[in-house]
Amino acid sequence: MFGSRSKEEKSPTGKVQADLSKQPRDPEAPKGRPTPKRSEAQTQRRRASSTAPTDRKEAAKRQREARRVDLAKQREALASGDERYLPARDKGPVRRFTRNFVDSRFCIAEFFLPLAVVILVLSMVRIGSLQNIALLLWLGVIVLIVIDSIGLAIRLRKQLNERFPNESKRGAIAYGLMRTLQMRRLRLPKPQVKRGERP
């Protein structure tokens, strides 16, 4: 008699608890879970405090460390060409194609720095004829670089319009021309194509 009654009393409370779990909890109602022991609460607080910085110095130190890790990843990506960690200016298929287009050609602009050093040395020699030759060489190099850069910009724009008609090509021509001014082995990201190879 008592056993059957106790079973009947237990079953409605289970239903009530299920219904209460669906309803939003009143803030003044009991929390429905046991209070954690002091040792457990302290370990949870210590974990939270170990992940969060305690003061400004600690926060700055962590920020510097995160920046250092990001820069290391960027350096590796610039050497390997890994698209995920490249800087924003080098990301995307348009920039990659521009790099490959420039790297597959000989450009006069990439020899600008060595030629500038030679011309500078010739202009410092106290012989009038050598100084005149240096001046003519300087003018000739600049004219050739301008002509070569204009031709490269026209061809690159045409290729970009054919291959990427629906993508933004803003700044891609200037990006390619700036890349021509660097010597091939000093370019970053490193060239991924050989000279003469189609990009």
pLDDT tens for the 199 residues of the chain, in order = 555 554 444 444 444 454 444 556 566 656 667 777 888 878 877 766 556 666 788 888 888 998 888 888 888 877 777 778 888 889 899 999 999 999 999 999 999 999 999 999 888 888 888 889 989 999 999 999 999 999 999 999 999 999 999 998 999 999 999 999 999 989 989 999 999 888 7
107, with CB counted inside 10 A (0-12, 13-18, 19+), is buried
**Dihedral angle, C-alpha 106, 108, 112, 116, nearest 10 °:** 130
The whole-model pTM stands at 0.65
Closest CA to 159 of 149, 172, 146: 172
pLDDT tens digits along 145-173:
999 999 999 999 999 999 999 998 999 99
**pLDDT tens digits for range 6-25:** 444 444 444 445 444 455 65
Helices (H), ranges, 81-111: 93-103
Q: Distance between CA atoms of 69 and 81, rounded to whole angstroms?
A: 17
Structure tokens at 151: 């031709």
- Across the chain, mean pLDDT equals 82
